[in-house]
Amino acid sequence: MHAEVARSPIVQAHYPMLASMASRVANPQVRNQGTIGGNLCYADPATDPPGCLMALGAQIVLSGPGGERVLPIEDFLVDYYVTALTPGEIVTEIRLPAPAAGADGRYARFLRTAAEHRPLASVALSVRREGAFCVDARLTVGASTPIPARLPRAEALLAGKTVTADLAAEAAEIVAADINAVSDMRGTDDFRRHIVRTVARRTIAELFGVAAD
């Protein structure tokens, strides 16, 4: 259950952004019924765990009549409500790499209205850093896209630099430009890009301790 992930001392100690994400999924009823495996396998785009797990470099273990296979989450999530699961297969494990020295991260979700539970946009940022210096970064956007995706141009901009408010804003512009934003009754693609730009800028700035409005 999401609530178990949120309160696990092991997850809290080693993957605090994952625990923090799980503590904010939907509402207490959903967190105490919904599972991270069911969440991934259903592949609803307006959810939280997939983008967070992608930023953390998750591998998904699938078991079925043909044996076991391990896929990077990028290959497990195929499209809107489509995964790489074949008939008879189930997800049996989600593996995360051990956190490296200097590992840090943030998961941010934006709700269109306070009464909505599902995110309109999400940004997950997993980095190795030395103070405000970014050694490397994995940045994903979800919920506003058919499936979460990494943003390689923004990651490359941040890597090997001291992050300033201006650099955070520049990276966020790239993020907004590069996402495959969906347009639906909850928001147009332009609106989603605007929200993602702001959420990404604030998330980067907050993680590196630089001022952001």
Q: Give the footprint of ligand FAD on this chain (CB under 6 A).
A: 25-26, 30, 33-35, 37-39, 41-42, 47-49, 85, 90-91, 117-119
- Nearest distance, CB of residue 183 and ligand FAD, angstroms: 20
What gap in Å lies between CA 187 and CA 5, rounded to an integer?
30
- Nearest distance, CB of residue 36 and ligand FAD, angstroms: 7
- Nearest distance, CB of residue 22 and ligand FAD, angstroms: 9
Among residues 21 and 176, whose Cβ is nearest to ligand FAD? 21
Among residues 102 and 146, whose Cβ is nearest to ligand FAD? 146
How is residue 113 written in tokens? 């209205």
Q: Which residue is nearest to ligand FAD (CB)?
A: 38
Among residues 40 and 154, whose Cβ is nearest to ligand FAD? 40
CA dihedral defined by 82, 43, 79, 93, rounded to 10 degrees?
-80
Let me know if 9 is exposed, middle or buried by CB neighbors in 10 A (0-12, 13-18, 19+).
exposed
Among residues 62 and 158, whose Cβ is nearest to ligand FAD? 62
Among residues 111 and 165, whose Cβ is nearest to ligand FAD? 111
Among residues 53 and 204, whose Cβ is nearest to ligand FAD? 53
- Nearest distance, CB of residue 134 and ligand FAD, angstroms: 27
Let me know if 59 is exposed, middle or buried by CB neighbors in 10 A (0-12, 13-18, 19+).
middle
- Nearest distance, CB of residue 90 and ligand FAD, angstroms: 4
E-strand ranges in 15-80 read: 59-64, 67-72, 77-79
- Nearest distance, CB of residue 94 and ligand FAD, angstroms: 10
* Residue 45, SS3 per DSSP: coil
What gap in Å lies between CA 184 and CA 113, rounded to an integer?
16
* Residue 186, SS3 per DSSP: coil
Query: CB of 40 within 8 A of CB of 60?
Result: yes
* Adjacent-strand bridge partners of 44: none
